[in-house]
Amino acid sequence: SVATGTGEVSESKRASDEVLTGRYFQKRMSSFLYFVLPAVGGYALTSMILLKNPHILHKRKRSAFFSRHISHRGGSGERIESTMEAFTNAVEQGTEMLELDCHLTKDGHVVVSHDDNLLRQTGYDVTISSLDLKDLPLYKERLEVTFYEGHYSSGADRKIALLEDVFKKFPRMPISVEIKENNKQLITKVSDMAKRYNREEITVWASVESSIMKECLKVNDSMPHSFTMNRGVLLLLLFYTGLLPFVPLEESLLQFYLLRIMNRTFIPDSPILRNRLIASLLEK
C-alpha cells in the first residue's frame, strides 16, 4: 500500500514537472517570437526600402556613361569576334558599350584578342606574347561562336585589331577592357593609352581575378572598374541576406550574361553553371 502511494506521488510529480517545463518553454518561445519577429520584419522592410532607394545611405556616383547593352567581343555572333568590323557593326546596331580583351605582343603592341593562344581563333598553335605584331596570323574565315555551338561568324575583316585603333575610331564609346594576365607592362600601356585619348572616364577595367584588378587600380584608380568573380559572388551573398543596401560598392559596372539565352545554346564547362537553381539565382 505504501509502495503504491509512493509510485502515485512520483508519477504525479513527473506530470507536474512536465507541465511546468512545457509552460516555461512556451513562455520562452512567446518572448522569442515577440522580440525576434518584429526585428526580422523591420530588418526586411528596411532592407527592401534601402535597396529601392540606395541614395538614402550612399552618395550617388557620377558616372560618365550608362550602359544596359554590352557587345561581348564586339558582338561575336554577328561578325568575326574582336575585329574592327565587329566593333563597327555593334556601334551601328546601337550598342551602348564595347567589351574586349587585350594582350601584349612580343614587340610591345597592345592587341585585341580574347585568347593569348591563337589556336581556336586562327588555327595556329602560337601565342600572341611570342610573336611580333607583323607576324600575327589572320582569323579563320569562319569562326565558331563560343556560346552558340554549331554556329559560325564570318566577315571581310580577319585582322587582329590594335587597341589604339579601337580608341581612335570610337572616341566617345564606353569600352570595357578585360585584362587576363597580371602583366604590369600591359596594364600600364592600357592606362597610358586611355589618358592619351582622354577617355579615362569611359574606359573600364575588367578582370575575373581580384589580384589582377588590384594591380589595375594600383596603376590607375581614376578609371571605373567592374566586379571580379569573387566580388560578384559577394554581391549575390549580400543581396540574398538583405545586407546589400548597407554595404558601399566601389565598382561602377556589373557585367553578366543573359543565362536563359546562354543555357539554351551553350553548355558551360563548369558543372555549377549547369545547375538550374544556380542559373536562376544568378539571373535574379
Tell me the whole-structure pTM to 2 decimals.
0.80
Scanning the chain, the segments in alpha helix (DSSP H) are 2-52, 84-92, 119-122, 163-169, 184-196, 210-219, 229-241, 259-265, 271-274, 276-283
Task: Say which residue the cell 571580379 belongs to.
Answer: 228
Residues 83/169, Cβ–Cβ less than 8 Å: no
| Residue written as grid cell 561581348 | 72
Question: Using one digit for the tens of pLDDT, what is the confidence trace for 189-204?
Answer: 999 999 999 999 999 9
Domain 70-203+210-223 in CATH: superfamily? Phosphatidylinositol (PI) phosphodiesterase (3.20.20.190)
- Separation CA 72–CA 257 (nearest Å): 9
Is the predicted pLDDT of residue 278 greater than 90, yes or no? Answer: no
Which has more pLDDT, 4 or 125? 125
* Residue 268 vs residue 118, higher pLDDT: 118
Question: What is the spatial distance between Cα 85 and Cα 18, in angstroms, rounded to a whole number?
Answer: 81
The residue behind cell 586611355 is: 194
Sign of CA dihedral 152, 154, 158, 162: negative
Q: What average pLDDT is seen over the chain?
A: 86
The per-residue pLDDT for 23 is 66
Q: Where in the chain are the domains?
A: 2-52, 70-203+210-223
Check pLDDT > 50 for residue 1: no
**What SS3 class is residue 28?**
helix
Judged by DSSP in three states, 205 sits in: strand
The more confidently predicted of residues 68 and 158 is 158
Residue reference for cell 559577394: 234
pLDDT of residue 205: 98
Q: Which residue has the higher pLDDT, 260 or 235?
A: 235
Cell of 230: 569573387
Cβ atoms < 10 Å from Cβ of 10: 10
Across 212-218, average pLDDT: 97
| Residue of 281 and 156 predicted with greater confidence | 156
pLDDT over 50 at 58, yes or no: yes
pLDDT above 80 for 25 = no
Band (pLDDT 50/70/90 cuts) for residue 2 is very low
Better pLDDT: 111 or 260: 111
* Range with the largest mean pLDDT of 21-30, 32-41, 272-281: 32-41
Q: Which of 43-47, 173-177, 259-263 has the lowest mean pLDDT?
A: 259-263
